[in-house]
């Protein structure tokens, strides 16, 4: 993959893209295949999954048995390098000393951003999710509806490869026939849960995940994605042919050297680079968007981490896709005569209404899953099944004490052991030698865990601003986070915990620990918002095209523009919105108004 240094940058580009993850990668793909000349700034180093991924090491071979370290904060089985909750020289601060009001900010300083870290759950928002205020009077409606984004969901699914099934459930949209790849079979614990959850009226279905269960159809998909553009079709087809189907080797979080799972570095960036229309500068830490006297963005000022010098790139338009928190930081730090409070912040809305997913976990032990015959249940490196939110009608009728729902992700199988003891001390009961081995064979794979991923309603207590005194190593003011869960989320988490306990009991199991309280904001790493979209300039930062009201050639292509955070994981929606915004930018370029 060709990479350039700061002194190799062109004098001018059509578009600058800040960030190389889901939104930035999709934007680069869309724009370059349409012929626009782009430069991408990535704050982290180059990363090549094909050569750097430790796919073929058993879990027991992991350094320190996968124990997290300051340099590897999610452990060995996570692809993230040079990133995590805390990074030397790049602090962030808290607006409160209370532990429960701390916000945990995850950053990935590497090519591909968080697409190297995510679980690849690729769930479409449903029609209700774009108009939540119209249903219950809380939060904000999006200025677009499901029908506006549905074609882009379909295109993203075809491009990246998503497995799953269509179940026709309420507000859990189907994909068009033939778009989804075949889902893998359920594991023993998943099938056993499905059987017993049915008695409680809870659906357990195949999850949608961005992992190839068979090779993509490179003969027909490119033409559907880029009709009338034979040049783009060939580039995309060649990229698709270089991706192999998953053969259930290792945890997807490590990355994938055969490109079976979706990462921006293996799916979006290779065809973008193959166009010859993308220059990529790594170690380019964006400081601010430069705005000219006419109020239009003219470029981006960044720190070259390899030299420590300030550098500039110029373009007709700028796209921020640095992750919602980093995009907020850039907007607030971009000050000038026309925007002393930061770009887009004329109404004081930049940084406001940050959201994350509600998280709570409960574990259990299921006797029926004891003494299973040894077999490989590694699977696709994540859940094959999940529980979508199923109580829309009861909630809409006011029968629940919280207004928005959650989905359930779970684990429980017999993957390859990780080197640690497979038994907790009470199950081992002091056994050693032959007795310990017998206990390990009996209990291994009989533990299960259930995790809530719920919708948070935006509130005025969850926001980010600039710390008045603290700066990073390059002298740039850092973000200060403010966070408070509302009663809505706390009641939702309590309902989820009760549901998990009911499921475990229904399977004849025993509840055994978990996360008893709602997790801190940011811990689920689904933060969105901070520069929300809307139809009214007085109540939003950008419009329905992710175009900032104040600077017409500045666009947002990450989660910052989200007006709500549904119970679905946000990444698929980030990509769909980025593709839609990219098409809008292309239209403006053709009209000469970019």
- Residue 95 DSSP symbol: S
Give me 21's structure tokens: 């993850």
What is the structure's pLDDT at 488? 97
Domain 1-50+109-164+220-352+528-594 sits in CATH at 3.50.50.60
Are the C-beta atoms of 407 and 567 separated by less than 8 Å?
yes
What integer is the mean pLDDT of 407-419? 86
CA distances for 480 relative to 92, 321, 459, 471, angstroms: 6, 20, 17, 11
Distance (Å, whole) CA 326 – CA 157: 26
Supply the pTM of this predicted model.
0.97
| 3-state secondary structure (DSSP) of residue 579 | helix
What is the structure's pLDDT at 382? 87
Are the C-beta atoms of 502 and 196 separated by less than 8 Å?
no
Percent of the chain with pLDDT over 70: 99
Paired residues of 15 in beta bridges: 38, 317
What is the structure's pLDDT at 589? 96
Q: Which tens digits make up the pLDDT trace of 303-352?
A: 999 999 999 999 999 999 999 999 999 999 998 777 889 999 999 999 99
Distance (Å, whole) CA 138 – CA 239: 44
Distance (Å, whole) CA 213 – CA 121: 14
Q: Which tens digits make up the pLDDT trace of 491-504?
A: 999 999 999 999 99
Q: Which tens digits make up the pLDDT trace of 77-128?
A: 888 888 899 999 999 999 999 999 999 999 999 999 999 988 999 999 999 9
Distance (Å, whole) CA 283 – CA 280: 10
Strand 13-18 to 38-41 pairing: parallel
Give me 121's structure tokens: 């759950």
């Amino acid at each position: 993959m060709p990479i350039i240094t700061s002194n190799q940058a062109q004098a001018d580009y059509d578009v600058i893209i800040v960030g190389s993850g889901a939104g930035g990668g999709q934007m680069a793909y869309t724009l370059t295949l349409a012929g626009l000349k782009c430069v991408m700034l990535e704050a982290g180093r180059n990363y090549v999954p094909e050569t750097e991924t430790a796919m073929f090491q058993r879990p027991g071979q992991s350094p320190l048995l996968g124990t997290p370290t300051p340099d590897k904060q999610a452990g060995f089985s996570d692809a993230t390098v040079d990133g995590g909750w805390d990074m030397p020289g790049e602090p962030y601060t808290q607006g409160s000393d209370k532990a429960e009001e701390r916000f945990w900010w995850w950053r990935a300083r590497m090519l591909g951003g968080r697409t190297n870290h995510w679980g690849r759950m690729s769930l479409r928002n449903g029609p209700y999710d774009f108009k939540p205020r119209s249903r219950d009077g809380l939060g904000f409606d999006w200025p677009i509806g499901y029908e506006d984004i549905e074609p882009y969901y379909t295109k993203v699914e075809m491009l990246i490869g998503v497995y799953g099934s269509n179940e026709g459930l309420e507000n859990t949209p189907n994909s068009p026939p033939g778009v989804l790849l075949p889902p893998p079979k359920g594991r023993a614990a998943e099938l056993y849960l499905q059987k017993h959850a049915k008695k409680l009226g809870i659906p357990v279905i195949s999850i949608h995940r961005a992992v190839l269960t068979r090779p993509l159809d490179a003969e027909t998909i490119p033409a559907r994605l880029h009709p009338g553009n034979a040049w783009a079709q060939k580039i995309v087809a060649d990229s698709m042919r270089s991706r192999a189907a998953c053969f259930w080797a290792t945890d997807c979080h490590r990355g994938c050297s055969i490109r079976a799972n979706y990462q921006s570095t293996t799916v979006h960036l290779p065809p973008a680079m193959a166009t010859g229309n993308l220059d990529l500068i790594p170690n380019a830490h964006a400081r601010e968007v430069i705005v000219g006297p006419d109020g239009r963005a003219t470029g981006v000022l960044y720190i070259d981490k390899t030299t420590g010098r300030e550098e500039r790139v110029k373009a007709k338009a700028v796209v921020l896709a640095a992750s919602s928190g980093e995009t907020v930081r850039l907007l607030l730090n971009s000050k000038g005569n026309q925007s002393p409070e930061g770009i887009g912040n004329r109404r004081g809305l930049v940084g406001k209404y940050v959201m994350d997913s509600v998280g709570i976990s409960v574990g259990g032990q299921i006797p029926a899953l004891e003494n299973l015959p040894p077999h490989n249940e590694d699977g696709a490196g994540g859940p094959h099944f999940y529980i979508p939110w199923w109580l829309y009608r009861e909630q809409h009728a006011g029968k629940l004490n919280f207004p928005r729902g959650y989905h359930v992700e779970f684990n429980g199988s017999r993957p390859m052991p990780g080197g640690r003891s497979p038994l907790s001390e009470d199950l081992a009961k002091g056994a050693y030698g032959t007795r310990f081995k017998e206990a390990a064979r009996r209990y291994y794979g009989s533990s299960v865990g259930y995790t809530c991923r719920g919708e948070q309603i935006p509130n005025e207590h969850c926001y980010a601003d600039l710390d008045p005194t603290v700066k990073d190593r390059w002298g740039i003011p850092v973000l200060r986070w403010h966070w408070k869960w509302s009663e809505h989320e706390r009641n939702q988490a309590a309902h989820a915990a009760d549901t998990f306990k009911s499921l475990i009991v229904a399977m004849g199991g025993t509840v055994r620990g978990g996360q008893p309280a709602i997790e801190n904001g940011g811990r689920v790493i689904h933060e969105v918002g901070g520069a929300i979209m809307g139809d009214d300039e007085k109540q939003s930062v950008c419009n329905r095209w992710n175009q900032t009201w104040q600077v017409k050639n500045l666009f947002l292509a990450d989660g910052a523009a989200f007006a709500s955070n549904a119970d679905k994981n946000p990444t698929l929606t980030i990509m769909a919105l980025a593709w839609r915004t990219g098409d809008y930018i292309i239209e403006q370029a053709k009209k000469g108004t970019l």
